Structure 1
Amino acid sequence: MIQVNVFDCGGLVIAINVSHNVADGITLCTFLKYWGLMAQGSSQEIFPDYMAQSIFPQINSLPDEKHLFSDIKHFLKIAKYVPRRYAFDALAISTLKAKSTSSAVKFPTRVEVISAFIWKCFMAAKSGSSSTSLLTHAVNLRRKTVPPLSENCFGNFLWIAAAQNSNENETDFRNLVSKIRESISEIDDDFVKNMQSEKGCPGYYENLEKTSKRIPKESEILSFSSWCKFGIYDIDFGWGRPIWASNCVPAYSESLLLNSVTLMETRSGDGIEALVILDEKYVAAFENNKELLAFASIDPSPMVLGKQALRS
């Protein structure tokens, strides 16, 4: 579904809703980028690549209840979830990178450090809980193969990486970054090829079992998805790049959801916005965290962020 909203001030918002059964974030953004090129009269021809059907053929013997998100569904619960946006500028990210550098991770990425930092703040917000804290991250499989698959591959090319922290009194920032790096690194070319080979279904089961072991059901989950480097701010329908782009965040409501975080680049490209949805019982402690307030601004105006990027 696509809805175009035109405002009296001359502003324009295009809202898109797509089923995750059909496409992942990369597929959606690729579609939008080339829709923009067509709107500008570009002669460039880009076609979606449906190679997923040959790389990962349908497995008729696979039980319906046994799939990648089987373990994640266990954590869905009805509660009052509150959305907040936290913006980290380039200086904050640079400082966090310096704080997280270790012998295990000499060059942490901005996604790793922001994820670890928010995870640390989340554990502090639910201090006293005896359950294991679980972080999951959606991983784009296109970039994990050698050579990488085309970004034009249509469908859902993703997997779930999972990292645990069983003792919430041990929240050393560098250690959390290392846990995230380790979990994502396990999803590599060999991991993907294990599902492509003649092993087929057994290979899929092996990978599923590896992931399942990292997702204990007694955990408290914080689920991450990064839309960084998707090229969202390169989308241009002929009126210039967007001032602000955002993933959909539900309003304060009682819903069947997860505690989750979506990371998106700011328009300038050097900052990150974290769209955080938390169970109401964690929100006050989370957003009053002094360390979080020192590095991030809460719910900054999208127009202010956009204008700052234009000036820079």
Structure 2
Amino acid sequence: MKRVDVEIVAKETIKPTSSTDLPRTYTLSCLDQIAVDAYIPFVLFLPNNNTSRGGIITDDVVSKRSKLLKETLPAILSRFYPFVGKLKDNVVIEGNSEGGVFYVEARVKQTLEEFLCHPDDDKIRELLPEKPHINESWMGNNYAIGVQVNIFGCGGIGLSMVLSHKIIDFQTYMIFMKAWAAAVKGEPETISPSFVASDVFPSDPNLLLSHKPRKSSQLFSTKRFVFDSTVLAILKSQPVANNTSRGPTRMEATTALIWKAAAKASSEVKAFNQQSPYVMLSVVNIRKRSSPPLPENSIGNLFTPAVALCFPTSKPDLPTLIGELRDSIAKENSEKIESMKGENGLKMIKESFKHQMDAISETEYVMVTTSVLNMGIYDLDFGWGKPVWFYYINPSMTSRLLVLIDTPQGDVGVEAIVTLTSDEMEIFQCDTELLSYATLNPCPL
């Protein structure tokens, strides 16, 4: 049943400014080749602080903003030309004169404040464009990107996007959004993508490791937990097992706490044996970890997974889990990344991928965690004020996922979006240790 009254007012394909001048092909890196073939959805909520005398929202303000978003997009697509091509054989993106971005404008019959008063995952999903569907493949004639500009009754905007994970990771999304925001403000074209990924990590036409999201017959549930700066300071006072050089980061402390509570909930749903691990698979951005660092504006899937294990039967404490998490990520260092580069790196990547899949296949309990902390999401400015909220949607809803995001207040808090099976979530959301630090789904405003 629909939870939000959304009226679609326009649909079209937005094409690049000069499609005839675009390169004909773009070759994927091998890291793109093995990336999951699905779409990642994000929603950025932008305020309307521009009212006429008497506080009334003016239609011309809304129409001007909608027009600016639409009219500046073609020039951005010309610079990010692979985003409008066709993916072929999981190796190349072919230039496509018919290609573009699926673009929707919609009206939401609520104010932004009313919508965000009690946000939940199902309600936010209703702001996504109908194309491309989250679980579709980019192969063939599908779009790489779908955009829906949701304009609320107050003039605020929910800018939702679904983006193919075959070429777009979160930092790539941020590069794209910074370029778009700068164009809307009329700033010079200073943000351009770097296409070095396939040179550093060359593709292999025979690489058949691309995978779809794991399918499951279980029902899953997503909840949002918020840690403010005060409780985070207490949580970060935890020691780190086998590592006394520095205390835990925000990411380490919150991930370990959630990992512990999730493993405990899973063990109550179904008993673990002593050899059965709960796997935490962390997404590690390798741009800055590479030596020398890769260009900051490098597009593509420039990350590697770090695998950490815990055994719920041993009832691990927080210092142990923080230590395990830190050790797993530390292994994804410049030496490891160097071994992944060039033609010889393909063998290393295949072996690493196989090792990770083997570790995961040993258990049905795998949680993927991705942190977008300190990525500047709340610094994005289209000229109308900084975002009031950002939400990262679990694309598949058939897997355990933890996403860590900054809080909009800028107080170094953390928002954790957690997906577990419904049975696990019933127990997890009542975990007393978790709730001593986190608040369940408060209003983000």
TM-score by length of 1: 0.88
Deviation at 1:280, TM superposition (A): 0.5
Identify the residue that residue 439 of structure 2 maps to in structure 1: 297
- For residue 421 of structure 2, what is the amino acid of its counterpart? D
Report the more deviating stretch, 226-235 or 104-113. 104-113
Q: Select the residue among 280, 286, 300 that pairs with 2:422.
A: 280
- Of 269-278 and 165-174, deviating more is 165-174
Deviations 1:134-159 (A, max 9, x none): 11111111121123222200111011
Larger Rg: 2
Shift of 1:103: 4.7
1:264 to 401, 405, 423: 405
Once superposed, what is the RMSD of the aligned Cα atoms?
2.0
The separation in 1 between residues aligned to 2:179 and 2:423, in whole angstroms, is 42
User: CA separation in 2, counterparts of 1:15 and 1:90?
Assistant: 28
- Give the corresponding residue for 2:147: 2
Structure 1 vs Structure 2: percent identity of aligned residues? 30
Q: CA 1:84–1:175 in 2, change beyond 3 Å: closer, same or farther? A: same
Aligned to 1:307: none
Q: 1:90 aligns with which of 229, 233, 238?
A: 229
Post-superposition Cα deviations, 1:143-191, rounded to whole Å, max 9, x if no partner, equal 2112322220011101111111124332211000000001111111111
3-state SS of 2:306 partner:
strand
In 2: Cα distance, 1:258 partner to 1:290 partner? 24
* SS of structure 2 residue aligned to 1:139: strand
1:115 aligned onto 2:290: no
1:78 is the counterpart of 2:217: yes
Shift of 1:231: 1.1
Structure 2 length-normalised TM: 0.62
Q: Residue 281 of structure 2 is aligned with which of 123, 136, 147?
A: 136
Residue in 1 that maps onto 2:238: 99
Q: Kindly indicate whether residue 164 of structure 2 is the aligned counterpart of residue 23 of structure 1.
A: no
1:33-89, CA deviations, whole angstroms, 9 ceiling, x for partnerless residues?
121111111125121000011001111233x1x35x68xx5x541321111100001
Partner residue in 1 for 2:157: 12
Would you say the 8 A contact 2:238–2:248 is kept in 1? no
Higher relative contact order (CA 8 A, sep 6+): 1
Cα separation, 2, equivalents of 1:83 and 1:139: 23
- Where does 1:157-306 land on structure 2 (aligned, <5 Å)? 157-212=302-357, 214-249=359-394, 257-269=398-410, 270-303=412-445
CA contact (8 A) 1:79 1:256 kept: no
Between the aligned partners of 1:247 and 1:3, the Cα distance in structure 2 is 15
Distance 1:85 1:181 in 2: 24
User: Structure 1 CA distance, aligned partners of 2:374 and 2:189?
Assistant: 21
Q: Is the 8 A contact 1:259 1:278 kept in 2?
A: yes
Runs of 5+ consecutive residues of structure 1 not aligned to the other structure:
304-312
Matched position secondary structure for 2:237: helix
Name the SS of the counterpart of 1:18 in structure 2: strand
More divergent stretch after superposition (225-234 vs 125-134): 125-134
Task: State the AA in 2 paired with 1:21.
Answer: K
Contact persistence 1:51–1:153 (CA under 8 A): yes
* SS of equivalent to 1:143: coil
Q: Does the 8 Å contact 2:202/2:343 carry over to 1?
A: no
Q: How many residues align?
A: 293
3-state SS of the aligned residue for 1:17?
Answer: strand
Per-residue deviation, residues 117-141 of structure 1 (Å, max 9, x unmatched):
0000111212352132111111111
